Chain A
């Protein structure tokens, strides 16, 4: 079993729709959770971080964390073609320490 699992996709949504990206992790000691966006040929860009159970909203993005279920998700509202990228879920036992990445989910937003 991989430590951090994501559906590789591609996840295809129409422009303006809500994109829902999911991630599960195996290490119950994980305390910090991150979503990165990576465009093809580029390095990851931090989108959201979340540390406690519940929802965290930032603009069109909402991260959701459920530690009991070992599940973290990212919702993108009003999806735009420019959101088309690979989204990487990363977890850490301690913020700033080594990150374990999932395989990423490729999102395609169609005009």
Chain B
């Protein structure tokens, strides 16, 4: 199956600092990646759609100036949480869209997630 990695797996930072999370598709190219956030006991909420070489599309209510997304290559998208605050503490998960093989349908594959704790 397709492999998507995230780095770091977990991070603890002080309030006011910025944190960068990387999402990589290891064995396929992904023109589109997605960033989700999941709070405890809740489902995944889509934050933004990241397209290689263009600006990300943010979901309603997600501050684009706070959550900076860069998709500079076909295998890497980054999410930077700027001036993080305790309420930004969450589980951030990326997914990468893999084009269907032999005319099949596209599928999203999820990274292992990054747990962010802001003190």
Contacts and interface: CB of A to CB of B under 8 A. Distances in A.
B107 A46 contact: yes
Interface in A18-71: 32, 36, 41-46, 49, 51
Contact of A43 (B42, B105, B106, B112): B112
Interface in B62-107: 91, 93, 95, 97-100, 105-107
B107 A44 contact: no
A45 B32 CA distance: 19
Contacts of B112: 42-43
Given A43-B93, A44-B44, A88-B43, A99 B113 contact: no
Bin chain A's interface residue count.
Answer: 20 to 34
A25 B45 CA distance: 16
Nearest to A2: B43
B2 to A, nearest CB: 10
B46 interface: yes
B111 A95 contact: no
B109 interface: yes
Contacts of A103: 42-43
14 contacts: A41-B91, A44-B93, A49-B107, A88-B44, A95-B107, A96-B32, A96-B100, A96-B106, A96-B108, A97-B97, A99-B108, A100-B46, A101-B43, A103-B43
